[in-house]
Structures are given as C-alpha cells and as structure tokens.
Amino acid sequence: MSPGPFLHPFAKPASERFIPITRGEGALVWDADGRRYVDALASLWYCQVGHGRAEIADAVSAQMRVLESYHSFDIFTNEPAERFTAEIADIAPMGEARVFLTSSGSEAVDSALKLVRQTMTQRGTPERHIILARTLAYHGVTYGGLTAQGLPLNQTGWGPLLPGVERIAHDDLEHVAHAFAQHGSEVAAVIAEPVIGAGGVHPPAPGYLRGLRDLCDRHDALLIFDEVICGFGRLGAWWGADRYGVVPDLVTFAKGASSGYLPLGGVVVGPKVREALEADPDFLLRHGHTYSGHPSCCAAGLANLEILRRERLAERALPIGERLGGGLRQLLDEGTVTAVRGDHAIWAVDLPDGVDAAVVRDGMLERGVIIRPIGATTIALCPPLVIEDADLDLCVEALDAAVREVTADRARPTAD
Ligand code: PLP
C-alpha cells in the first residue's frame, strides 16, 4: 500500500496511518469508528467555543447565500469585514487600533514583520530592519515566521531563511538587553508570544514582557505580541497583553478569532504603525492576500465573538486552569511527570526520561483523550473553553494511566 494523495502537514510523508475525525460537539470529537475523544488541544489550539456550533454555521451560510466572497483590495470592502475589524479594534489592547486581515497565523506573522519594516521605511529609518525573536518561539511556517521561530528542527532543510532576524533568549532579559546593545539602532521590532505555545507552553518569567516593552521604548523599536494561541480568552482575557498588563504595538491573531470554523487571522496595529502608514496620503500599502477580509470568514468570526461574549468564555479559563493544573501538579507530586507549566487554559507536562511523548499520546488516545506531543518529552493540553470538569479529570487520568503503562512495561523483567 502506498500513502494516499493527501500530503499531510507536520506528518511523515511515508506514513499511512491516520485517524479520520468525523464529528464534533463541545469539547468532544468522534472518529470514523464512532470512538469518542476529549479534544484536549481544542483541535490545534484553536477551538475556543467548542465544536458543533450551529449558529456559526448558520451565520456563514446566510453570508454565503448573499455574497460568498469579494476581495477587499484597493477600493472594495464588505460589511462583515468592516464589522469584524471594528469589533477587534474595540477589544484591542492598544487604543486607536486598526486591523489587517489574513487567513492564518503564519500570514499574520509575516504581515506583522512586513508592517514593522514598512513602518521604519515610512519613518525614514529603513536601516531599522532587524527583528529580535525568542528561543522556543513558534511563529508559523512561511519564511518570515519560519525564520522568527526558535525551533531549529523546523528550520532545517528549507534553504536560506530571512535575513535580519536575531535570536534572543525566551527567559533572559539581560540577553535581550545585550542584543539591543549590539543592534539597537537597527532593530525594527521584538516579536514574542505572551505564553510560548507550540514550543512547549512556557509562561513568561515575571517582568519579562514588561522588560521587552521598556527595552523597545528605550530603543525606539516596536513590540509585536504573537497572540495566535493566547488571544480570545485562552488566558482569561481577550489577550495575553491584558493578562500580563503590557501593551504591544502590534498583535498577531488567528485560531480563536473564528475558533477555526473558517480560516481567519490578522494583525492589530496601534498608533505608532498607523502614524507611519497614514502620514503620506499617496503611500500605497502593497501588501495583502486574496482572502484578506473574506466576508464568509468574517461572518464566522463575528458569530464566534458573539458566543465568546455571551457565554463569557474567557471567565472559564481560570477554573479550567485550576482543575487541570491542579490535577497535573498532583501527577508531578506523585512523580508521574517531571515538570508542569501553564497558565489559565493552556498547559504542558514534561515526561520522565525514556518515556516517549508519542507513545503517551497513543496511550491517551486509547483512553479517549487527544493531546499533542511536543518533541519527544512534552505533552500539551489546551482544551476548548467549554470543556466540562469530568472531561478535564479524564485528561489527567488518561495521562497518568498512559505514563504508568510505559513505566510498568519498562520495569517488567524480560522473558529470557
Ligand atoms: N503564531 C503562533 C503563536 C502559533 O501558535 C501559530 C500556530 O500554531 C502560528 C503563528 C501559525 O499559525 P498558522 O498555523 O495558522 O499559520
């Protein structure tokens, strides 16, 4: 048998084993054999409002029946895109915001990187082109985000990456200060996830994000928060920026913006970027995607925002964290896992030496829980904000049992 035509993302191209997911409801999904799973990673860190929301489907369907899509380049616009960007600007962590739209987080990150460089060009300081980006960061897979991310395995084999990106330590402000001392007059921006997500769930060290803000201010650089995972209630507020009380100049978002019902992302830009871009009335922003401002995707985004608001789902993130984090810490006390990290509704554990994360993933699948292994040693959990307590408990029980199964197998004497 040879692999099928679908060349899967972040998968082994030679692989033939896939699990068809056929249905979802709330924090649960079912496979083609009717097996039920707790979706403990909210699909891929995005399904904030849970699966099966008919009102989002209805909003998209209604929009599609009137106008499925029309581009928004140059002189054209559409009501869902205008309304969605107005709502995002309204909840933005910075005042006087405007919103550029994309279809994904990677496009959002690349757009943000281009926007900060264009800002510097419009200000008359084009030599400011360097982006400082953190170790362990994940910023997507297009060349800008790929270069900015701090996960070397993902960067291997793709040829030359983007020039002008320098690495800073994700947890060491002194190292960032050193980078500014070296490149200060050439730095356009620092990019940072408030909580590092796909790189293993690392909440910021106390004062780190504030320190980035201060360094950017001192050196006239811009601060980008990549909130593709952190935004839309994941950390108990609209943004990680709100959670940690630090105001960035740009925010990238995607995922929870539509809870994944349709592809939707974007970049929120604050006054510093706006001033530079709006100063010359003849300046033309030569950047945009065919689907920037796609009306049906924006209709999904609007319906998603409505649910987040009406059901106050951001307020669910803290109790989720208390229950899930509490359960995981119990496993730490018992020695089942070796580290627990997280904040509100995003968590990870490290596994003991020799316990492979992919094997634990399979063991948890057998017990009806989907998590994501990160590297060989880390398990991430980031459930829909509608998850029930019993399903959170099942996540912890399944993790416990899956790890114990591996360690018991290792301890068993061999037959000969
Ligand atoms: N930025 C962050 C912080 C992410 O977590 C991700 C995806 O996980 C991206 C960017 C890229 O988003 P996408 O996969 O939608 O391109």
Share of the chain above pLDDT 70, in %: 99
Tell the residue nearest (CA) to atom 1 of ligand 1: 139
Q: Looking at ligand 1, which atom is closest to the CA of residue 45?
A: 8
Distance CA 109, CA 141 (A): 10
Among 255, 261, 264, 372, residue to substitute to test ligand 1 (most atoms within 8 Å of Cβ): 255
Which parts of the chain sit beneath pLDDT 50?
none
Measured at the alpha carbon of residue 139, what is the angle toward residues 134 and 144, in degrees to the nearest 5?
Answer: 95
Residue 120: how many other CB atoms lie within 10 Å: 23
The finding on whether 102 has its CB within 6 A of some atom of ligand 1 is no
What atom in ligand 1 is closest to the CA of residue 254? 15
The pLDDT, as a whole number, for residue 410 is: 79
196 lines ligand 1 (CB under 6 A): no
Give the model's pLDDT for residue 412: 75
From 10, 107, 134, 138, mutation site for ligand 1 pocket: most ligand atoms within 8 A of C-beta: 138
| Residue 133, ligand 1, Cβ within 6 A | no
Distance 360 CA to ligand 1 centre (A): 24
Q: How far is the CA of 171 from the centre of ligand 1 (A)?
A: 20
SS3 of the chain: CCCCCCCCCCCCCCCCCCCCEEEEEECEEEECCCCEEEECCHHHHCCCCCECCHHHHHHHHHHHHHCCCCCCCCCCCCHHHHHHHHHHHHHCCCCCCEEEEECCHHHHHHHHHHHHHHHHHHCCCCCCCEEEEECCCCCCCCHHHHHHCCCHHHHCCCCCCCCCEEEECCCCHHHHHHHHHHHHHHEEEEEECCCECCCCCECCCCCHHHHHHHHHHHCCCEEEEECCCCCCCCCCCCCHHHHHCCCCCEEEECHHHCCCCCCCEEEEECHHHHHHHHCCCCCCCCCCCCCCCCHHHHHHHHHHHHHHHHCCHHHHHHHHHHHHHHHHHHHHHCCCCCEEEEECCEEEEECCCCCCHHHHHHHHHHCCEECEEECCCEEEECCCCCCCHHHHHHHHHHHHHHHHHHHHHHHCCCCC
Q: Does ligand 1 have an atom closer than 6 angstroms to the CB of 41?
A: no
Please work out whether the CB of residue 254 comes within 6 Å of at least one atom of ligand 1.
Answer: yes
Ligand 1, atom 13, residue with closest C-alpha: 105
pLDDT per position as a tens digit, 286-340? 999 999 999 999 999 999 999 999 999 999 999 999 999 999 999 999 999 999 9
Q: Which atom of ligand 1 is nearest to the CA of 140?
A: 11
Query: Is the Cβ atom of 197 under 6 angstroms away from ligand 1?
Result: yes
Report whether 185 contacts 174 (CB < 8 A). Answer: no
What is the per-residue pLDDT across 163-175, written as a single tens digit (0 to 9) for each?
999 999 999 999 9
Overall residue count recorded for the chain in this entry: 416
Q: Does the CB atom of residue 106 touch ligand 1 within 6 A?
A: yes
Whole-number pLDDT of residue 411: 78
